[in-house]
A and B are shown apart, each in its own frame.
Chain A
Amino acid sequence: EVQLVESGGGLVQPGRSLRLSCAASGFTFDDYAMHWVRQVPGKGLEWVSGISWNSGSIAYADSVKGRFTISRDNAKNSLYLQMNSLRAEDTALYYCAKDIQYDSSGKLDFWGQGSLVTVSS
């Protein structure tokens, strides 16, 4: 059974940093691209970032480019999102999601339950 478990969320002040982690199990992690998608509670979905199976291809939404860094450790079956210079508008539930193929296609067939990030003073 595919499982994606996010962690690392919490309350953080504007301008500070936070690192999210996603632990994957139930599939061959290094065979698939991975993504982060966020959702303001009660609102819609926003794709944040994606990374190919071997980290050779990485992309970011314009709203986070230059502030967020996605990475993965295939030996640990883990995905990460380093978030710097956080803003109030980054407040959201952050989902880790699995792509259906090794290179980023954008088709997301499994999602974690999310990690809540709240940016507030």
Chain B
Amino acid sequence: EIVLTQSPVTLSLSPGERATLSCGASQSVAGSYLAWYQQKPGLAPRLLIYDASNRATGIPDRFSGSGSGTDFTLTISRLEPEDFAVYYCQQYGSSPWYTFGQGTKLEIK
């Protein structure tokens, strides 16, 4: 099983700043099959990025993903107030067993 470790656990930033979230895998993720989800309190997760760098439908272009192998990054170029939430990475390269990272909480500084 591929274990995903996200860092930092908590990230404190202000609106307008740039956010960089990391996701490290215990072994290489085949095909860069990695996704990022955003979850706000009381709501279901929302798909942001799939295949490491492709934005899902309706996702603003301030969200971008990069990486391959064992190291992946989600970048939010300029934080909007609605971006403060918990972010999860997920690998689906070792189909059919899909694993999630433990999450990064992005909070307002």
**Do A and B originate from a single complex?**
yes
Task: List A residues at the B interface (Cβ < 8 Å).
Answer: 44-47, 50, 57, 59, 61-62, 95, 100, 104-109, 111-114
- Choose among B33, B56, B57, B103 the residue that contacts A44 (Cβ–Cβ < 8 A): B103
Q: Are B100 and A95 in contact (CB under 8 A)?
A: no
Task: List B residues at the A interface (Cβ < 8 Å).
Answer: 1, 33, 35, 37, 43-47, 50-51, 56-57, 88, 90-92, 95-103
Q: How far is the CB of B98 from chain A (nearest CB, A)?
A: 4
CB-CB under 8 A from A104, the residues of chain B are: 95-96
Q: Are B96 and A107 in contact (CB under 8 A)?
A: no
CA distance A30 to B45 in the complex (A): 23
Contact of A47 with B97 at beta-carbon distance under 8 Å, contacts A95-B44, A113-B44 already known? yes
Q: Are B44 and A109 in contact (CB under 8 A)?
A: no
Q: Are A45 and B56 in contact (CB under 8 A)?
A: no
Q: Are B100 and A106 in contact (CB under 8 A)?
A: no
Max chain A Cβ within 10 angstroms of own Cβ: one of B44, B92, B99: B44
A/B pair count, beta carbons within 8 Å: 60
- Choose among B43, B50, B97 the residue that contacts A100 (Cβ–Cβ < 8 A): B50
Q: Are B102 and A44 in contact (CB under 8 A)?
A: yes
CB-CB under 8 A from A112, the residues of chain B are: 44
CB-CB under 8 A from A46, the residues of chain B are: 100
- Choose among A50, A95, A108 the residue that contacts B96 (Cβ–Cβ < 8 A): A50
Of all A-B residue pairs in the complex, the 6 with the closest CB atoms, nearest first, are A106-B92, A59-B96, A111-B44, A106-B98, A47-B98, A45-B100
Contact of A111 with B96 at beta-carbon distance under 8 Å, contacts A44-B88, A106-B33 already known? no
CB-CB under 8 A from B97, the residues of chain A are: 47, 59, 61-62
Q: Are A47 and B100 in contact (CB under 8 A)?
A: yes
